[in-house]
């Protein structure tokens, strides 16, 4: 048991760093993912992750494998797309999802163009699949800082955020906090994706956000429990994924997300709230 679970972290520094990284990511991405799901923005996260790519690519092309350049580039591109799509949605007839789709596709194409402008695109591919095994001090601090900011902002804006998710009309009628809250939330999404991007890459970072939230939804309807469970599943997937990668030799990023995917599949099957099996089994078995 010790060899299986503890020894990898005890023996290797890089495993300990990866552990801290995934725990921090799970702590921030869990609640954000739950709110995304409640706002029916589950796919918007994916769009946003694609939108970050050109920014990170520009950062990489300008400064090489520089943490700050790539972070800044990703943040700028992510904010530009989020704000641009939001502005178009509010100023015109277009729905936000369509606007977001338009913006992220343009951004993605720009990213691909930039990637191929660079003679050898192999380097950049490595960059886009960040690696959780190579977190240095600066990257870890960045991820932890992002998680801290996320949790503080969430704590401060929790009520308007939840209200806006569940009943935006009501929030509009009682206060004007709706739009700023929405923007702050989008900013959190971009921040978390950029944080996750350093550890997992642009595409897999969304998995850490959405899969735990989607899985948690099958076990509870209560918001606080939902958030707690999502965080638990996210962190658990991170740890388990690392261990799977350590013992089986599977690449660590996909391993982490696949473990989260496994948690989702189990939840779909056995989840007490709307899971498949509990529905099929006669009701009295449920009331044990």
Partner 1 sequence: MLNRRSWLAALAAVAFAAPALAQDAPPAQKLPVVATFSILGDLVHQVGGDRVRVSTLVGPNGDAHVFQPSPADAKKIAGAKVVFVNGLGFEGWIDRLVKSSGTRAKIFVASKGVEPREMAEEEEDGHDHDNTAEAHGHDHGHDHGGTDPHAWQSVANAKLYVANIRDGLIAADPDGKATYDANAAAYTAKLDALDNEVKAAIVRIPADKRRIITSHDAFGYFGAAYGIEFIAPQGVSTEAEASAKDVAKIIRQIKAEHIPAVFMENISDPRLVKRIANETGAKIGGEVYSDALSDDKGPASTYIDMIENNIREFSSALSS
| Residues found near partner 1 in the complex (CB under 8 A) | 8, 11-15, 17-18, 65, 117, 119-120, 122-123, 125-127, 129, 131, 133-136, 139, 242, 245-255
Other beta carbons less than 10 A from residue 232's beta carbon: 16
d(CA 203, CA 205): 5
Q: Closer to partner 1 by CB, 226 or 243: give it.
A: 243
Nearer residue to partner 1 within complex by CB, 32 or 142? 142
Given a contact cutoff of 8 angstroms between Cβ atoms, the answer to whether 158 and 144 are in contact is no
CB of 11 to partner 1, least distance (A): 8
Identify which of residues 120 and 173 has a Cβ nearer to partner 1 in the complex: 120
Tell me how far, at minimum, the Cβ of 14 lies from partner 1, in Å.
5
Q: Cβ closer to partner 1: 130 or 271?
A: 130
Burial class (CB in 10 A: 0-12, 13-18, 19+), 275: middle
Backbone angles phi, psi at 121, to 5 degrees: -90, 0
First to last CA, the chain: 33
We find the least distance from the C-beta atom of residue 101 to partner 1, in angstroms, to be: 23
Nearest approach, Cβ of 13 to partner 1 (angstroms)? 5
**Token pair for 114:** 């930039």
Q: Output the CA angle 149-153-158, nearest 5 degrees.
A: 150
Minimum distance of partner 1 from residue 202's CB (angstroms): 13
Nearest to partner 1 of 199, 213 (CB atom)? 199
């Amino acid at each position: 048991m010790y060899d299986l679970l503890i020894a990898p972290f005890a023996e290797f520094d890089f495993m300990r760093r990866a552990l801290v990284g995934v725990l921090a990511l799970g702590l921030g991405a869990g609640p954000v993912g739950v709110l995304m799901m409640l706002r029916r923005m589950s796919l918007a996260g994916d769009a946003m992750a694609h939108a970050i790519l050109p920014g990170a690519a520009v950062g990489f092309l300008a400064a090489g494998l520089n943490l700050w350049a790539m972070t800044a580039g990703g943040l700028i591109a992510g904010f530009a797309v989020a704000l641009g799509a939001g502005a178009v949605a509010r100023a015109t007839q277009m729905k936000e999802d369509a606007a977001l789709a338009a913006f992220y596709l343009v951004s993605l194409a720009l990213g691909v163009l930039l990637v191929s402008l660079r003679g050898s695109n192999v380097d950049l591919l490595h960059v886009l699949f960040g690696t959780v095994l190579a977190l240095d001090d600066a990257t870890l601090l960045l991820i932890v800082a992002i998680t801290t900011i996320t949790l503080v902002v969430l704590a401060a804006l929790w009520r308007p955020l939840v209200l806006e998710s569940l009943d935006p009309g009501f929030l509009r009628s009682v206060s004007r906090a709706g739009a700023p809250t929405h923007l702050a939330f989008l900013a959190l999404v971009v921040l978390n994706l950029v944080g996750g991007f350093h550890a997992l890459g642009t595409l897999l970072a969304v998995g850490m956000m959405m899969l735990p939230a989607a899985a948690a939804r099958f076990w509870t309807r209560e918001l606080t429990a939902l958030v707690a469970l999502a965080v638990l599943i996210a962190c658990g997937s991170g740890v388990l994924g690392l261990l799977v990668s350590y013992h089986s030799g599977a690449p660590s990023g996909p391993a982490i997300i696949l473990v989260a995917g496994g948690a989702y599949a189990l939840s779909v099957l056995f989840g007490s709230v709307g899971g498949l099996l509990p529905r099929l089994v006669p009701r009295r078995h449920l009331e044990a």
